[in-house]
Structure 1
Amino acid sequence: MAAARVSLPGSSDSSLGFDDYSLYSNLSDEELLQLAIERSLEDSPNLTSKTETTKTSVPTSSRTAPPITRPAPPSRPAAQPQPVQPTPEPCPANPPRDTSNEQSPVIVSHFTSGNGKPMVAYRRYDGTLVEVKPEAEVEEDPIVKAIRNGDVGQLRQIIKKPGCNILIPNQYGWIPLHEAAYYGQDQCVKALLRVQPGMINKRTLSESTALYLAVSSEKADCVQCLLDKGADPDLANKDKESPLYKACEKENPAIVAMLLNHGACVNKTSSQGWTPLHEAVCRNNVEICDMLVKAGAKISIPNNYGITPIFVAAQSGKVDALRFLLKNGADINSQAADGATALYEACKNGHVDIVQFLLSQNADANKPGKTGLLPIHIAAQRGNDRIVSLLIPATSKARVRRTGISPLHLAAERNRDDVLELLIETGFDVNAMLSEERSMLYEDRRSTALYFAVINNNIDATTMLLEAGANPNLDTFSALLVALRQGCMSTVRLLIEHGANVNAYVLTHPTTFPASIMFCMKYLTMLKYLMDNGCDALSCFNCVYGSNPHPPLKTRRSERDDTSQKTCVQFCEVVSTDTYSRWAGPIIDVLLDYVGDVKLCARLTEHLDSYPDWENIKEKATPPRPLMQLCRLKIHQLLGSNRVKKIKKLPVPGGLIRFLNHEERSYDL
């Protein structure tokens, strides 16, 4: 009977007979696939040679560097096998293949098969598979294996053998003593030190001692054993973190007590100037703090940035540790290198309970940092209204004025409406101005809290400030101009109703007409609203060139910014730019309703002649103007815009009211 034959995936010309199949019947699909790939690769000597070369370049050890926080450190390295030189195979019967791609670099990737077996795959950069095979197994050092298993008897037998050197480190500088300390095998530690007692303070490449490793893994028995054998408790690692520092970080009071009882330096600092007390305070562990202070820890020792333990407690919101420090003499008003106090830090980080406690202990709320800001400033900036309410009674408004900035500015800048309302209710000046130095930090030289609210388009904040008496005309660049530029009609109405100057100019960019008109040319409804409230429309028609030819427009930015030829910009020049030229007709139409007899200059006439639909606007401007128009202007002149608004409340005909408000005809706006 013919033998059954089974073809494996990936095998092009090889098949397995029944006997072969019975041998591999227990293999998984991944292993069968690997077997087929290996058999197919045997037909290519060039590829086999390349594969063998690649093997020698791949590390045979899968060990990784042991950060102290990892559960298991690396084992000591086993003897590495020498790479086997590939045996040349006979020339294949087939013609030679193009092997140019085979010379490209190989990408190594590691994965785990379905049955949990670690595998490694080799591919070229073009994705072509070169080889898949199981990961090389690394033989574990017998000494390390005995230590991990806690087999002291086996360890003693190994280290008694001739030629056994327990001082040879692995690639990370670990010797067996480090392994034993990290895994907490105190009996192994004793056995090793009995053979080589002088290695007790030997360090790894990260400069960690066996004592430090035992502390980091919280192996108290090993810590006690090492200390009893004479381990130095002050030898720090590469980051200058001592075993005592590490014990405080781990919040292990038993190990802290061991180290202190063996004379550990309680004020030894890390590379950042951090002491064990800093770390204990950060963990809010009062028990360890008490042990450290009784052992001589300095309460107010600063780190490299001037941060004392009391700052750490305030920053991290540790009330118990803060109370302990103050009870033991910490200075509640001490300042860090940047001038900040513990109260400032608590406000900055939003710890309400810390702020409340510090104020109850008479912390100074009027001590500014190097930036000049008080705790109430940072609280307003962060938007914590509860902290602000606690600070208001303790903060001097005279000190606030001295800083050159009000908490209102910071609350308005960050849209902290709740804080803004609280500050207004408690009497902070809504018209407080930024100092010259702080105002110069902004390109637009803003000065008031109202400006911040308007530029943020915060209508609620704008309303609160205006109703509280904020003056909308204090800033160099009017808040009304900001609202007009943003096209926010609600803000424009609020500002004008509260007295904003509708004829505002920009001092740095002089014009012959109000700048407010320039910022709303695209919003004809807004332009009409300005005109209804007394904006100067007549100035738009006062052109120095009149009917004479106008000079060419300055289209280049360099020409417009030329200070040597700086002159006032005229309305006809602005309306002729590409931005507004398409709106020239409707803009002129609105303005004509608010002027009497005027004569259009040559450039405005040119615009009106450019579109046939604008012919009626040109006729409208032709003098003389209708008598009714002149009468309306005279009434507005005599009564003023504010009184014209109030005329609606008088018993006068509705037609007259609409006429005075330019509502006798509708505009297509």
Structure 2
Amino acid sequence: MAVAHVSMPGITGTNLEFADYSFYSNLSDNELMQLAIERSLSDAQSSGPGSQNSNNPAALNMPASPCQAPPSHRCPQQQLEPTACPANPPRETINPKGVCSVSHFVTGSGKRMVAYRRYDGTMQVAPEPEEELEPIVKAILDDDVGTVRLLVKQPGCNLLTPNKDGWIPLHEAAYCGQDQCIKILLRAQPGMVNQRTLERKTALMLAVTMEHLACVERLLENGADPDIANVEKETPLYKACEKENPAIVAMLLNYGASVNKNCIQGWTALHETVCRNNVEICEILVKAGAKVNMANMYGITPIFVAAQSGRVDALRMLLKNGADLNSQAADGATALYEACKNGHEDIVEFLLSQNADANKPGKTGLMPIHIAAQRGNDGNVIGCTYKNARETNIVAMLIPATSKARVRRAGISPLHLAAERNRNDILEVLIEAGFDVNATLSEGHSMMYEDRRSSALYFAVMNNNIDATTMLLEAGANPNLDTFNPLLVALRQGCIQTVTLLVQYGANVNAYIPTHPTTFPAAVMFCLKYLTLLKYLMDNGCDALSCFNCDYGSNPHPPIKTRRNVRYDLDETTEKTCVQFCEVISTETYSHWAGPIIDVLLDYVGHVKLCARLIEHLDSYHEWRCIKEKSMPPRPLMQLCRLKIRKLVGINRLKKICKLPVPPRLIKFLNHQEREREF
């Protein structure tokens, strides 16, 4: 804390810090204020023309500011961090010279601060200097009507002088609810009733915002225009609806406020009132001529707002007054569409009871049932059970009102969206309602996915949703509709349960990928790391013989070209050749598994000749020599017989052979179960 020094008779000016401070701290508030005034006068005299500081005792003993105190009168800490004297207001003002930027901010306690950043990089923060209040403004804030009346009569009182925010005394009176002050001010200067602040707010707008009914009435009586809007084109009527004050709304309408004037986004007072579900004000506005079908800049009508925000009471009132139930916004959405989107079950039920059209799609082509099917979270999310049940009920209500022919023309089924979002409960409801489980995406919708998926089953398998996959397959879903077979997705994920389900319901174990041609089934390529899955596919009819067909045979093979994220050259003239099994198994990923993979495949083929590359792999490990010998002719007669029987009987009939009077040992032999293998 800085030490103040005061001249005292009989005391020298040296080493008087503690004595001076003791005297200074014992002064009363009035004495301190008088001392500050004397000091201020002495500073002014010492800095004036012709004055000399050496002849002024006050100048010798009282520094102009703590930072300007003589060095001998400062302690070391004060020299480093000069602070203002607590009993010597006002504090030192910041000199803005040399400042490169100024920023204003508000502290957590609401105190306004200003930061000055200088060219040398230093920053100084201080309280923002408060604007000095005019006497008449101070009188208004103090509700001193008598002083206001006296000041208005003074010749030098200018009622039109604005402050830094463009506020005049009339604005202050309206904001503070001083209706008597408003009366006095308007009597003295009636033409300022509609003057605006920098934010283009009139005194009427401020009074409505603060809900000062008496002030609103006083201003309207004195000619305030109720239709003057602020910078966002919000009128006082709009603000009154926002504040849900029916008395002010009625008063503004009685004084001629325009009921259908819209804000900068086309929002009217009725829109705002409907959003707040205030039926009383809605009825006041409608009786005053509010248009119930007036749309904002996005084509949104009040009934759309009611459905979007779940305001059933306001919705009933609008329909009773002739609102268009099936009006569409700019994006084609209807009130029913928006209610489904936001999960308002009661709104959906009411709209359907009023015969709302459930078959009107938006511009995206989706209908209300699509939006309801894709909405919500999967069942694993905590706390969403009630929400999911509510949305399932919405779908159930929409099903009778939805045309399945219109759904087919949409190019996407709600089954797709339910499966994509893991909505098993909705998926079950839709299946029970008879929606086609084999409906495919239109080309436009399919192209939105890189893998060109088309069936609902693909979505379920991609999400590894076993329950949804089971429901779809049991309902008759075809597992072979997609370009990229769902079985390949399940194999890539390594989910044996999904693979088993798909194969049991007829998935093609010999599926190929048109965009990546191979000489062997693509299913083999996706399960080379999972020998159990590979054996399961072979047991169910996967073509093992194609894995041993090689264009090079016993001749030397060309080196493998590894391409990582490289496109084919545009001037490439040769056609893209099919990838062979020996090329895939020779990659770094699978080469160390080559022996066991070939061993499994040999159990499902007869006489084959290994190509040079496969022999090279088997020769690379001593333990794989027996696998190479296994491939050499002649193959055992029992193996050849087994292959012949399996081919003649067929895989499907072979699965049912256990029901025939055949020895169990023969059944195990035909199913390659005569000995257990460990992988």
Which band: TM-score by shorter chain?
0.7 to 0.9
The residue aligned with 1:519 is 526
For residues 84 and 441 of structure 1, the distance between their equivalents in structure 2, rounded to whole angstroms, comes to 62
Larger deviation: 303-312 or 375-384?
A: 375-384
Q: 1:73-152, aligned counterparts within 5 Å?
A: 139-152=132-145
For residues 675 and 253 of structure 2, the distance between their equivalents in structure 1, rounded to whole angstroms, comes to 93
For residues 209 and 106 of structure 1, the distance between their equivalents in structure 2, rounded to whole angstroms, comes to 30
The residue aligned with 1:76 is none
Deviations 1:382-440 (CA, angstroms, capped at 9, x unpaired): 15111111111111111111111111111111111110000001111111111122222
For residues 474 and 284 of structure 1, the distance between their equivalents in structure 2, rounded to whole angstroms, comes to 49
Whether 2:217 is the aligned partner of 1:221: answer: no
Shift of 1:299: 1.2
Q: Secondary structure at the match of 2:625?
A: helix
Q: 1:415-426, aligned counterparts within 5 Å?
A: 415-426=422-433
Q: What is the one-letter code of the residue matched to 2:353?
A: S
Whether 2:255 is the aligned partner of 1:262: answer: yes
Shift of 1:118: 10
Q: What is the one-letter code of the residue matched to 1:208?
A: K
8 Å Cα contact 1:433/1:448 also seen in 2 = yes
Whether 2:419 is the aligned partner of 1:409: answer: no
The residue aligned with 1:582 is 592
For residues 662 and 175 of structure 1, the distance between their equivalents in structure 2, rounded to whole angstroms, comes to 97
8 Å Cα contact 1:531/1:537 also seen in 2 = yes
Match of 1:549 among 551, 556, 580: 556
For residues 224 and 255 of structure 1, the distance between their equivalents in structure 2, rounded to whole angstroms, comes to 9
8 Å Cα contact 1:344/1:375 also seen in 2 = yes
Match of 2:626 among 613, 616, 625: 616
- Label 1:490 to 1:293 Cα distance change in 2 as closer, same or farther (>3 A): same
8 Å Cα contact 2:104/2:112 also seen in 1 = no
For residues 16 and 497 of structure 2, the distance between their equivalents in structure 1, rounded to whole angstroms, comes to 85
Q: Secondary structure at the match of 1:168?
A: coil
Match of 1:535 among 529, 542, 547: 542
- Label 1:618 to 1:329 Cα distance change in 2 as closer, same or farther (>3 A): same
Whether 2:377 is the aligned partner of 1:375: answer: no
For residues 653 and 39 of structure 1, the distance between their equivalents in structure 2, rounded to whole angstroms, comes to 110
Whether 2:239 is the aligned partner of 1:246: answer: yes
For residues 588 and 142 of structure 1, the distance between their equivalents in structure 2, rounded to whole angstroms, comes to 100
Match of 1:438 among 418, 432, 445: 445
For residues 106 and 226 of structure 1, the distance between their equivalents in structure 2, rounded to whole angstroms, comes to 39
8 Å Cα contact 1:553/1:573 also seen in 2 = yes
Match of 2:455 among 437, 448, 460: 448
The residue aligned with 1:73 is none
8 Å Cα contact 2:104/2:113 also seen in 1 = no
Q: Secondary structure at the match of 1:17?
A: helix
8 Å Cα contact 2:454/2:481 also seen in 1 = yes
Q: What is the one-letter code of the residue matched to 1:487?
A: G
For residues 545 and 455 of structure 1, the distance between their equivalents in structure 2, rounded to whole angstroms, comes to 37
Where structure 2 has 5 or more consecutive residues not aligned to the other structure, the ranges are: 1-14, 29-64, 377-390
Match of 2:186 among 156, 180, 193: 193
Shift of 1:39: 7.8
Shift of 1:664: 3.5
Whether 2:575 is the aligned partner of 1:565: answer: yes
- Label 1:220 to 1:448 Cα distance change in 2 as closer, same or farther (>3 A): same
- Label 1:241 to 1:646 Cα distance change in 2 as closer, same or farther (>3 A): same
For residues 96 and 80 of structure 2, the distance between their equivalents in structure 1, rounded to whole angstroms, comes to 12
Q: What is the one-letter code of the residue matched to 1:403?
A: A
Q: 1:257-296, aligned counterparts within 5 Å?
A: 257-296=250-289
Deviations 1:595-627 (CA, angstroms, capped at 9, x unpaired): 111111011111112222222221221222222
Q: 1:318-397, aligned counterparts within 5 Å?
A: 318-383=311-376, 384-397=391-404
Q: 1:593-632, aligned counterparts within 5 Å?
A: 593-632=603-642
For residues 604 and 147 of structure 2, the distance between their equivalents in structure 1, rounded to whole angstroms, comes to 107
Shift of 1:367: 1.5
State the aligned residue count: 606
Shift of 1:162: 3.3
The residue aligned with 1:70 is none
For residues 269 and 109 of structure 1, the distance between their equivalents in structure 2, rounded to whole angstroms, comes to 34
8 Å Cα contact 1:266/1:295 also seen in 2 = yes
For residues 168 and 230 of structure 1, the distance between their equivalents in structure 2, rounded to whole angstroms, comes to 21
8 Å Cα contact 1:647/1:657 also seen in 2 = yes
Q: What is the one-letter code of the residue matched to 1:214?
A: A
CA RMSD of aligned residues (A): 3.7
For residues 382 and 111 of structure 1, the distance between their equivalents in structure 2, rounded to whole angstroms, comes to 42
For residues 519 and 249 of structure 1, the distance between their equivalents in structure 2, rounded to whole angstroms, comes to 62
For residues 68 and 474 of structure 2, the distance between their equivalents in structure 1, rounded to whole angstroms, comes to 87
Q: What's the % identity of the aligned pairs?
A: 71
The residue aligned with 2:21 is 20
For residues 111 and 360 of structure 1, the distance between their equivalents in structure 2, rounded to whole angstroms, comes to 54
- Label 1:40 to 1:515 Cα distance change in 2 as closer, same or farther (>3 A): farther
The residue aligned with 2:49 is none
Deviations 1:311-354 (CA, angstroms, capped at 9, x unpaired): 01111111111111111111111111111111111111111111
Shift of 1:138: 5.9
The residue aligned with 2:494 is 487
Larger deviation: 156-165 or 509-518?
A: 156-165
For residues 625 and 85 of structure 1, the distance between their equivalents in structure 2, rounded to whole angstroms, comes to 99
Q: What is the one-letter code of the residue matched to 1:262?
A: Y
For residues 155 and 171 of structure 1, the distance between their equivalents in structure 2, rounded to whole angstroms, comes to 21
Larger deviation: 655-664 or 247-256?
A: 655-664
Shift of 1:652: 4.6
Whether 2:453 is the aligned partner of 1:457: answer: no
Deviations 1:524-580 (CA, angstroms, capped at 9, x unpaired): 111111011110000000001100011221212477746743111111111112222
Larger deviation: 469-478 or 560-569?
A: 560-569
For residues 488 and 442 of structure 2, the distance between their equivalents in structure 1, rounded to whole angstroms, comes to 22
The residue aligned with 1:211 is 204
Whether 2:659 is the aligned partner of 1:658: answer: no
Shift of 1:124: 9.9
The residue aligned with 1:11 is none
The residue aligned with 1:96 is none
Deviations 1:274-314 (CA, angstroms, capped at 9, x unpaired): 11111111111111111111111111011001001110111
Shift of 1:641: 2.3
Q: Secondary structure at the match of 2:361?
A: coil
For residues 546 and 141 of structure 1, the distance between their equivalents in structure 2, rounded to whole angstroms, comes to 103
Shift of 1:158: 2.8
Q: 1:468-487, aligned counterparts within 5 Å?
A: 468-487=475-494
Match of 2:298 among 302, 305, 309: 305
- Label 1:197 to 1:276 Cα distance change in 2 as closer, same or farther (>3 A): same
Q: What is the one-letter code of the residue matched to 2:473?
A: L
For residues 17 and 512 of structure 1, the distance between their equivalents in structure 2, rounded to whole angstroms, comes to 102
Q: What is the one-letter code of the residue matched to 1:629?
A: Q
- Label 1:15 to 1:348 Cα distance change in 2 as closer, same or farther (>3 A): farther
Shift of 1:151: 0.8
Deviations 1:105-150 (CA, angstroms, capped at 9, x unpaired): 999998799xx9999999999999x989888676443322211221
8 Å Cα contact 1:41/1:47 also seen in 2 = no
Where structure 1 has 5 or more consecutive residues not aligned to the other structure, the ranges are: 1-13, 28-36, 62-79, 87-101
8 Å Cα contact 1:107/1:125 also seen in 2 = no
- Label 1:272 to 1:448 Cα distance change in 2 as closer, same or farther (>3 A): same
For residues 95 and 656 of structure 2, the distance between their equivalents in structure 1, rounded to whole angstroms, comes to 105
- Label 1:163 to 1:521 Cα distance change in 2 as closer, same or farther (>3 A): same
